[in-house]
Amino acid sequence: MVPRFYNTLTRDKADFRPLDPSHVRMYVCGPTVYDRAHIGNARPLIVFDVLFRLLQELYRTSARVTYVRNITDVEDKINARAAERFPEMEPVAGIRRLTEETYQGFREDVGALGCLPPTVEPRATEHIAEMIAINERLLASGNAYLSEGHVLFSVPSMADYGRLSQRPLDEMQAGARVEVESYKRDPMDFVLWKPSNPSEPGWNSPWGYGRPGWHIECSAMAWKHLGETFDIHGGGIDLVFPHHENEIAQSRCAFHQPVMASVWMHNGFLQAEGEKMSKSLGNFVTIRELLADWPGEVLRLTMLKTHYRQPIDWTLKSLEESARTLDDWYWFARDLTASSPDHAVLEALADDLNTPKAIAELHGLRNAAQRSGAEADLARFVGSLRFLGFLGESAEAWAARKKEAAGVDQAAVEALVAARLAARNAKNFAESDRLRDELAALGVILKDSKDPKTGAFRTEWEVRR
RNA sequence: GGCCUCGUGGCGGAGUGGUUACGCAGCGGACUGCAAAUCCGUGUAUUCCGGUUCGAUUCCGGACGAGGCCUCCA
C-alpha cells in the first residue's frame, strides 16, 4: 500500500516514497514549553501520532520510522516567565527549571491523549552547537550577515524563497505593519542569532553571548536527528509562514539541498463553539482542563472525526457524541483480543490521513462483528481501535471512571439497584418503577438484560454523561 | 490591501463527472410487565448565479458567507 499525502509545498496530493527506502523520517514542530498546552496544541500531536502509527505499520517489514518532535525551551516568553518565577537563578538554569516542569505536565497531557512517544524529543537548548554550525555555514555561503551583534539571514540571497507559502518576494508587505529594525538590510531578513544581555539566557558563540532566533532550532534539530534532508515535516498551518518558510531557507542554503523535507503537512485550526479561540475572548481551554471532565480518548476521537486539514469547531456537543461512541465501543469490545488493523482502515489513513473515513470503517467493523458474532471480526474491530490509539484501558476501568466522574454514591446506587431488582422479581412493579425513577433522578440509567445462557434476568447501571 | 483555505441533510462529517458514505438525533419495529439499554429497519442535503458537458455536489468563472496567514499563535 503506497500512502498519498497532501503536500503544502506542491499544493497537491501525491504518492509518498521515502528518500531512504529503509528509513522513514519525519519531523513535527513540538510545543513551546512555558505554560500548559491548550486544546489547539493537541491537534498536531494527535494527527501526527496517527501518521507515525500508520508509517510504522506500512513500513513494518521494510523500514524503520524515526519521528522527531522537538521541545522549544528557549524563547522570549519562556525567558520572561522564568525571570519572573526564578529571579534568583542563573538565566539558563531558570529556563531549564521552568521548561522541565512544563514539559512534565505536557508529557502527562499527551500520554492521556493516547499518543505514542516520538522516537526523539530533542530540546533546543541542547542543540546550540548545531545552530552555531548552521550559522557559520550560512555566513560562509553569503546567505547570512552580521549586523549590530545579530546574525541575520539574507532573504534576497535565496532566489526561490517563498515557495512553501507561495509568497513571491516582491509581493510581500513586510514592514508594512511592523517597524523594521535598523539592523536589517532587507525588511524580510530574519534573525538567526541575537545578543543577550547578562540577565537573559544566552550561550557563548563566535558572535558573542547570545541566543538563537526562532527558526534556527528546528533546522538544527532536524539536521542532527534526521539529516540534511528528510521525508515529512509537519506542524500547524499557522507555521507555514514565516516559521517553516524560514526553516527551509536556513536548511537548504546551509546544506545546498533542493529541499529540506519532501512533504510538508499542516493541520488546520480549532474554533471554540463557533468563535475564534483566543486569549482575549477567554475561550482558550487547556488540555489539562478538558482532561478533568473527559477521558483523553474522547478528546482524541473528537479531534479525529474531522480531516486534519479542515477546521474543527470544538464544541461540547461534539465531545458528548464522542463519549457516547466510545462508551459503545468499550462496551462492545469487552477487552477481547486484538488482531492486526483492518485493511480498509489502513486504506483510509493512507489516503492523506482520512480519519473520518477510517472512523466510518470502524463503525462498519463494529456492525459487521455485531451481525456475524465471529471472533475474527471482533478481533479486527478491536485491533483497528487499538491501532488508532483507542481502548487504552480496560472496559471495566472505562465504565468505573465514568461512574466516579459523575460523583454518585456508588454504594447507595448499588443498594437501590438491588432493591429494585428484588421488587421486580417479586412482580411488585409499582415499587420497582418507583425505584427506577428514583435512580433516574440521580442520573443513573438501568440496563436490563437476560443472560443468554441461563435466561436469568440481570441488570447493570451507568450514569448519564 | 496581498495571499491561502472552506461552504454537503436537524447536527457532526467523508467520498464522488452519472444509484450521495458514516455517526448522533428523529421516526417505525423487535425485545420488555411498562420502560431503558440492545437489536432490526428508515426519511431528510450538496450557499447562490453563470459556463463547460449528454449529464456537475464534484471541473471553470463570479457573487455572497466563514476561517486563516502577512504580528515568534498548533
Q: Which residues contact A117 (CB under 8 A, 6 or more apart)?
A: none
End position of a domain, from candidates A212, A239, A267: A267
Any known ligand binding at A256?
no
| CA–C1' A461–B20 (A) | 39
Asked if residue A434 belongs to a domain, the reply is yes
Same domain, A249 and A282: no
Please check whether residues A308 and A325 belong to one and the same domain.
yes
Predicted pLDDT at A338: 87
**Nearest nt (C1') to A238 (CA)?**
B69
For residue A178, pLDDT over 60 is answered with: no
Domains: count for chain A: 3
Asked whether this complex has an ipTM greater than 0.90, the answer is yes
End-to-end CA distance of chain A: 40
A46-74, pLDDT tens digit by residue?
A: 999 999 999 999 999 999 999 999 999 99
Give yes or no: residues A157 and A305 share one domain: no
| Contact assessment for residue A143 and residue A156, using Cβ atoms and an 8 Å cutoff | no
pLDDT of residue A18 exceeding 80, the answer is yes
User: Considering only A169-183, A216-230, A419-433, which range has the smallest mean pLDDT?
Assistant: A169-183
Q: For residue A394, is it within any domain? A: no
pLDDT digits (tens, 9 = 90+) for A198-219: 999 999 999 999 999 989 999 9
Q: Check if the beta carbon of residue A308 is closer than 8 Å to that of residue A354.
A: no
CA of residue A43 to C1' of nucleotide B39, angstroms = 36
Span A401-411, average pLDDT: 85
Length A178 CA → B71 C1' (Å): 8
Residues A94 and A187 grouped into a single domain: yes
Residue A179: per-residue pLDDT:
60
Shortest CA to C1' contact from A212: nucleotide: B72
Contacts of A55 (CB under 8 A, 6+ apart): A3, A24, A26, A65
Q: Tell me, in Å, how far CA of A418 is from C1' of B50?
A: 70
- Taking the CA of residue A373 and the C1' sugar atom of nucleotide B74, their distance in angstroms comes to 42
Domain contains A395: no
One domain for residues A343 and A413: no
Mean pLDDT of A421-430: 93
Dihedral pair phi/psi, residue A64, rounded to 5°: -95, 155
Residue A175 has pLDDT above 50, yes or no: no
Q: Can you tell me which residue has its alpha carbon closest to the C1' of nucleotide B68?
A: A238
Q: How far is the CA of A343 from the C1' of B17 (A)?
A: 28
Report the pLDDT value the prediction gives residue A280, as an integer from 0 to 100: 66
- In this prediction, residue A281 carries a pLDDT of 67
Last residue of a domain, one of A267, A295, A329: A267
Q: Which of A251, A267, A283 is the last residue of a domain?
A: A267
Residue A112 lies in a domain: yes
Distance A181 CA to B25 C1' (A): 57
Q: Which nucleotide shows the minimum CA-to-C1' distance to residue A28? A: B74
Q: Is residue A141 part of a domain?
A: yes
Question: Is A307 marked as a binding-site residue?
Answer: no
CATH, residue A144: 3.40.50.620
Q: Are residues A240 and A276 in the same domain?
A: no
Write out the H or E segment, with its range, that includes residue A449.
strand A444-450
DSSP output for A40-95: HHHHHHHHHHHHHHHHHHHTTTT-EEEEEE-BB--SHHHHHHHHHH-TTS-HHHHH
Q: Note whether residue A453 is domain-resident.
A: yes
Provide the pLDDT confidence category of residue A170 given band limits of 50, 70 and 90: low
Q: Domain check: are A295 and A248 in the same one?
A: no
Ramachandran angles phi, psi of A270, nearest 5°: -105, 145
What was the pLDDT predicted at A165? Answer: 84
The pLDDT score that the predictor gives to residue A279 is 67
pLDDT exceeds 50 at position A293: yes
- Return mean pLDDT, chain A: 91
Do residues A221 and A275 both lie within one domain? no
For residue A55, which of A75, A91, A28 has the smallest C-alpha distance? A28
| Closest protein CA to C1' of nucleotide B6, residue | A310
Q: Average pLDDT, stretch A259-285?
A: 83
- Name the nucleotide with the smallest C1'–CA separation from A348: B14
Which three cell numbers, joined as nine digits, stand for A270?
Answer: 480549532
- A115, A154: one domain: yes
| Least-confidence region, from A50-54, A241-245, A276-280, A355-359 | A276-280
pLDDT tens, position by position, A96-128: 999 999 999 999 999 999 999 999 999 999 999
**Are residues A278 and A263 part of one domain?**
no
C-alpha cell at A39: 486544546
A5 and A265 Cβ atoms separated by less than 8 Å: yes
Name the percent of chain A lying above pLDDT 70.
96
Rounded, the Å distance between the CA of A23 and C1' of B15 is 32
Residue A115 known to bind ligand: no
Q: Which nucleotide is nearest to A176 (CA to C1')?
A: B70
pLDDT given for residue A126 in this prediction: 96
Give the mean model confidence (pLDDT) for residues A274-284.
73
A29 is in an annotated binding site: yes
Within-domain flag for A103: yes
pLDDT: is A452 or A21 the higher one?
Answer: A21
A244 shares its domain with A290: no
**B72 closest protein residue (CA to C1'):** A214
A9 and A90, same domain (yes or no): yes
- Note the strand B nucleotides within 7 A of protein beta carbons: 1-6, 11-15, 21-25, 32-40, 67-74
- A447 CA: nearest nucleotide by C1': B37
Q: In this structure, what C-alpha cell is assigned to residue A464?
A: 448519564
- Residue A396 domain-assigned (yes or no): no
What per-residue confidence (pLDDT) applies to A169?
A: 61
Domain span holding position A107: 4-267
Nucleotide minimizing C1' to CA distance for residue A327? B37
A172 pLDDT higher than 70:
no
Q: Give the global pTM.
A: 0.95
Q: Please check the confidence at residue A181 and state whether its pLDDT lies above 80.
A: no
Q: Is A279 labelled as part of a ligand binding site?
A: yes
